[in-house]
């Protein structure tokens, strides 16, 4: 049992098991305990000590955590509490009973089957729904908060066994940027999912997240990240300069309409991309539903049951 310090009171949590580990910290399944045997399953992310001990990071991380605390949307993992556990900053978040998109992808690779095109598009469309909400979020005075994720990648996309798709880890990548005072002096995010402006260390806006969505979608469709090299510098170079392929030649189920969506999403000039997440969401949903029936949360849930029971 650990006691999390939050403002002027304490909350009891029990760490149950480790769920994931990344560069910023470790995520645990936890139990929140209250009066009369109240218990709630949560996710607890402990920020690594080396970051928690840096004054500039602490200041900016707290500011960013407060900024995204009111992001309440079905396609975003909700933040419940910000606190401290034994000297390490922690975020208490909504627990998602499922897998992240990297695990979803690896499962397909292990089974030797491709991700269905419609479900790949559906998953990314749900991420766009969450981004459209976050990018346009305003404060209580109606001022735009200018929230940009900056680290949209498969590890930060959760797929619940019930079929919900949720984006997590808003704010942490920005906190690293702000630790160095001027955005652009340091790259936030995984190299192989950066936008060209991030790879070039330029100041970013919400359109950077859309380029990352294009990378994720292409990876789901092709079973590989088209930009990734063993050397991070070469990966960033590819993001900036590599010719974007004709996706119809790489997988027969990709038609010209989806190929056009991918090419527009992966435009190097942000002025030539979709200009906001709602535009990309609309394009993906028109692609999915223009003929009438298309994928739903329930269809995705059924597919997850099929995939993860396949070898039983």
Q: Which residues pair with 93 in a beta bridge?
A: 43, 79
Average per-residue pLDDT for the chain: 87
CATH 3.40.109.10, domain 2-94, yes or no:
no
Choice among 4-13, 51-60, 169-178 with the minimum mean pLDDT: 4-13
CA separation for the pair 15, 30 (Å, rounded): 4
Q: Check if 2-94 and 98-308 are the same fold.
A: no
CA dist 115 → 107, 121, 277, 299 (Å)? 10, 10, 23, 14
Quote the CATH superfamily of domain 98-308: Transferase(Phosphotransferase) domain 1 (1.10.510.10)
Residue 7 pLDDT > 50, yes or no?
no
- Residue ranges covered by each domain of the chain: 2-94, 98-308
Return phi, psi of residue 54, to 5°. -90, 120
pLDDT band at residue 10 using 50, 70 and 90 as cut-offs? low
**pLDDT value of residue 311:** 44
For 233-285, the pLDDT digits (tens) are 999 999 999 999 999 999 999 999 999 999 999 999 999 999 999 999 999 99
Residues 6+ apart with CB under 8 A from 111: 307, 310, 311
Q: Which residue has the higher pLDDT, 311 or 72?
A: 72
**pLDDT value of residue 3:** 53
Residue 180 pLDDT > 70, yes or no?
no
Query: For residue 234, how many other CB atoms are within 10 A of its CB?
Result: 14
Choice among 127-141, 181-195, 231-245 with the minimum mean pLDDT: 181-195
Over residues 129-142, mean pLDDT = 93
**pLDDT value of residue 261:** 98
SS3 call for 2: strand
End-to-end CA distance of the chain: 36
**pLDDT value of residue 171:** 61
Residue 177 pLDDT > 80, yes or no?
no
For 198-214, the pLDDT digits (tens) are 999 888 899 999 999 99
Q: Which two tokens stand for residue 273?
A: 């991309």
Residue 164 pLDDT > 60, yes or no?
yes
Q: Which among 8, 36, 70, 151 is annotated as catalytic?
A: 151
Residue 175 pLDDT > 70, yes or no?
no
CA dist 306 → 71, 128, 300, 302, 311 (Å)? 32, 26, 10, 6, 9
230 assigned to active site: no
**pLDDT value of residue 172:** 59
Query: For residue 260, how many other CB atoms are within 10 A of its CB?
Result: 14
Q: Which two tokens stand for residue 18?
A: 């480790």
Q: Which two tokens stand for residue 181?
A: 């005072």
Q: Which residue has the higher pLDDT, 184 or 203?
A: 203
For 54-107, the pLDDT digits (tens) are 777 777 777 777 777 889 999 999 988 888 777 778 888 899 999 999 999 999
**pLDDT value of residue 271:** 97
Residue 124 pLDDT > 70, yes or no?
yes
């Amino acid at each position: 049992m650990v006691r999390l310090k939050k403002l002027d009171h304490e909350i009891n949590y029990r760490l149950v098991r480790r769920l994931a580990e990344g560069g910023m910290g470790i995520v645990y399944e936890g139990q929140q305990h209250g009066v009369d045997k109240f218990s709630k399953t949560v996710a607890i992310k402990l920020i690594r000590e080396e970051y928690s001990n840096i004054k500039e990071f602490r200041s900016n991380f707290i500011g960013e955590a407060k900024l995204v605390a009111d992001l309440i949307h079905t396609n975003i993992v909700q933040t419940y509490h910000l606190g401290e556990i034994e000297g390490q900053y922690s975020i208490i978040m909504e627990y998602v009973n499922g897998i992240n998109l990297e695990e979803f992808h690896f499962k397909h690779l292990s089974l030797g089957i491709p991700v269905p095109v419609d479900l790949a598009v559906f998953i990314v469309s749900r991420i766009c729904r969450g981004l459209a909400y976050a990018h346009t979020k305003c404060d209580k005075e109606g001022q735009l908060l200018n929230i940009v994720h900056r680290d949209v990648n498969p590890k930060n996309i959760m797929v619940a066994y019930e079929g919900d798709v949720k984006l997590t880890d808003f704010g942490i990548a920005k906190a690293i940027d702000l630790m160095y005072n001027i955005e652009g002096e340091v790259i936030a995010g995984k190299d192989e999912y950066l936008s060209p402006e991030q790879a070039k260390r330029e100041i970013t806006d919400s359109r950077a997240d859309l380029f990352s969505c294009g990378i994720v979608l292409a990876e789901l469709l092709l079973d590989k990240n088209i930009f990734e090299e063993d050397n991070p510098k070469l990966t960033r170079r590819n993001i900036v300069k590599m010719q974007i392929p004709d996706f119809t030649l790489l997988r027969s189920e990709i038609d010209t309409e989806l190929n056009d969506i991918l090419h527009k999403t992966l435009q190097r000039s942000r002025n030539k991309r979709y200009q906001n997440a709602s535009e990309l969401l609309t394009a993906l949903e028109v692609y999915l539903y223009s003929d009438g029936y298309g994928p739903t949360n329930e269809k995705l849930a059924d597919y997850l049951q099929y995939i993860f029971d396949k070898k039983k």
